[in-house]
Structure 1
């Protein structure tokens, strides 16, 4: 009976291994996300891990290349809603392994030159470089509060082989020419090599820009080697400059938010409660049980913008109240009733309200 039990246990082990092989790689585990993760959570996880696991940063690890390909394949499958449905139902086999090698997803997040991981960036050598491109990217205050991924279609000139040769690597050298017996002349001449000819062909490429919570107006987001090409050198960089769009309810100053609230005269006199919709959909509950005068201010701590360096820290929300006075004329009885209710003598004061500004 003991031997029979061992046989059964061995058969079960073989079955489990077979199921794992047929199921393929666990893409959720590779990315470190749950099966309920949103597309943005998947993108954030990939972007974070891709910087840590890139082979250029792990040159002493023989398995780095394979792990990086697995990471790219996981992102490629789970970031696409149609592929994700197939994967959830049939596993990697349902997608076809031949089409799941990770592709070129890394460059869509970081650009085409990975030298910034360890000494290979084109700014560190003497090769010529194409021009940098700076583009404004309009972003909503909601995106700067909660974060988002924005896809930008980039048309980039790419060098392709062409017929013939061209002059390249041109430089100035001292050339000695013999004029006759014992007579020589030295002069500067431009000397060039013959290189294969190339032509620039426009290609489109989708770039993924992560708007991180707390980013500020004017902050730049770089893509290495995605700028203007250079026929004999490296392409320049592409930099997106964040441009915060004007918001209908909030004004941002640093990490603080400011807004104005108009209330009725009745609310101003007897107090009120209200909910203010915030940038991510949650509401800020306001309670005021005392008289509110025009220009009165209220501070709600930790309801401002997240700090870019530490998203757990948030600024303040400042509210300035305006009073919507009723229109029309009061009767003499209503006036007298107000005088008795407010018990306030008539008093006027004339002064320079701009003093101190």
Structure 2
């Protein structure tokens, strides 16, 4: 190898050795500054854990590695003692205080580049035993889905602690060769175990904070690395909280849209209404209508639905379906008289609609409905008053006057026009 090429190779090798000594930059992995608070670290971890989860990135071959790096970074920086040790000595200083020798570092690199020196590549054994994952359903309300929330979960977690005595560990199958005589050998397979310090499982109370992000979808999972079942010879599994949205008594979720039903009276369905709907976070959504409202009619309020999970600035729609409360008892004689007036109102409104749709340049009927409310709160519908207007002008289908007042001049004018 030429001296110039050898010098370049040595510089590259020293750079790689320095990278191993320094280890991974956990702050960079989490995307937080070195002065970040524990709350900022938790928030960054929750957000990245959802983005980098292998289930959400099936086409990324490095998804599993990125997710493991994220878990390692959070495990260290969320622990004050480990974080202090990491800030002082780097990732190598976390390995039980063990300082890797230069021989180990060279062995690590030459194990991969050994073919350049007549050796063979050597792969590290990454088959570390791992505890089982735990999946827990976490019930959240639709109000929490709309506005977001932080939920604290207290659980008893089994943790491995040192105990007196020794135990067998890292058991594996090995081939053993036995000489039976001159030129005769026998190969047998047997289980070989190491001797390790004894451990016991102790339940410890843990408080976990789960961030419910606005727009979270039913069935999504929030992972907590290393909070699953322990493994005495390896690493603990993960704990995953699976979101389960509780059914709401008023609103129904369909994607990012919200659906609800509003019941109006028979009079309101004919002459119109004006009301407010209380939303999930308490703000009022105003709705009004001065036209005939048929049972099953729908009203869309854009931007009043749930926030989109990927972009909270985008919101769905609120779709309101109207139900009409018809009388459940047989009509009285007085009500039957009013029934004829209501038919006149409907006929007048329908006549106007037909003439507008046809587009014929003739007079268009306009209906004025007088509604008088007595002291008992009962509405009395008066006879419809007819007025005319030229085709092309905008007129209301129905108008209400809850004061019960009359306009004699307008009535006379309407009669003369007819």
TM over 0.5: yes
Contact 1:303 1:317 (8 Å CA) reproduced? yes
CA distance in 2, matches of 1:338, 1:108: 62
CA distance in 1, matches of 2:253, 2:337: 45
CA distance in 1, matches of 2:74, 2:148: 29
The answer for the alignment partner of 1:272 in structure 2 is: 273
1:130 aligns with 2:100: no
Which of 56, 70, 91 pairs up with 1:117?
70
1:48-87 CA distances to partner (integer Å, 9 max, x unpaired)? xxxxxx951438x9x965x24xx23xx59xxxxxxxxxxx
Change in Cα spacing, 1:226 to 1:119, as seen in structure 2 (3 Å) is closer
The answer for the alignment partner of 2:206 in structure 1 is: 205
**What's the secondary structure of 1:215's corresponding residue?**
coil
Contact 1:170 1:193 (8 Å CA) reproduced? yes
Quick one: higher RCO (CA 8 Å, sep 6+), 1 or 2?
1
CA distance in 2, matches of 1:266, 1:204: 60
CA distance in 2, matches of 1:216, 1:107: 19
Contact 2:46 2:211 (8 Å CA) reproduced? no
The answer for the alignment partner of 2:225 in structure 1 is: 224
Contact 1:57 1:117 (8 Å CA) reproduced? no
**What's the secondary structure of 1:126's corresponding residue?**
coil
CA distance in 2, matches of 1:308, 1:324: 37
CA distance in 2, matches of 1:304, 1:329: 40
Contact 1:56 1:118 (8 Å CA) reproduced? no
Unaligned runs of 5+ in 2: 1-23, 50-66, 76-124, 348-418
The answer for the alignment partner of 1:79 in structure 2 is: none
1:159-174 to 2 correspondences below 5 Å: 159-174=160-175
1:190-269 to 2 correspondences below 5 Å: 190-269=191-270
The answer for the alignment partner of 1:281 in structure 2 is: 282
Unaligned runs of 5+ in 1: 1-53, 77-101, 346-357
Instruction: Report the CA distance between 1:342 and its aligned residue.
Output: 2.8
Moved more, 336-345 or 131-140: 336-345
Change in Cα spacing, 1:162 to 1:212, as seen in structure 2 (3 Å) is same
Contact 1:167 1:195 (8 Å CA) reproduced? yes
Instruction: Report the CA distance between 1:119 and its aligned residue.
Output: 8.0
Moved more, 333-342 or 283-292: 333-342
Instruction: Report the CA distance between 1:250 and its aligned residue.
Output: 0.2
CA distance in 2, matches of 1:184, 1:192: 24
Change in Cα spacing, 1:136 to 1:107, as seen in structure 2 (3 Å) is same
Count how many residue pairs are aligned between Structure 1 and Structure 2: 256
Change in Cα spacing, 1:251 to 1:341, as seen in structure 2 (3 Å) is closer
Contact 2:138 2:244 (8 Å CA) reproduced? yes
CA distance in 1, matches of 2:231, 2:70: 22
**What's the secondary structure of 2:162's corresponding residue?**
strand
Larger Rg: 2
Instruction: Report the CA distance between 1:239 and its aligned residue.
Output: 0.6
Aligned residues: CA RMSD: 3.3
Change in Cα spacing, 1:157 to 1:333, as seen in structure 2 (3 Å) is closer
**What's the secondary structure of 1:58's corresponding residue?**
helix
**What's the secondary structure of 2:235's corresponding residue?**
coil
Instruction: Report the CA distance between 1:179 and its aligned residue.
Output: 2.2
The answer for the alignment partner of 1:42 in structure 2 is: none
CA distance in 2, matches of 1:142, 1:333: 46
CA distance in 1, matches of 2:268, 2:126: 68
CA distance in 1, matches of 2:72, 2:198: 29
Change in Cα spacing, 1:341 to 1:294, as seen in structure 2 (3 Å) is closer
Change in Cα spacing, 1:239 to 1:279, as seen in structure 2 (3 Å) is same
Contact 1:130 1:234 (8 Å CA) reproduced? yes
Change in Cα spacing, 1:178 to 1:286, as seen in structure 2 (3 Å) is same
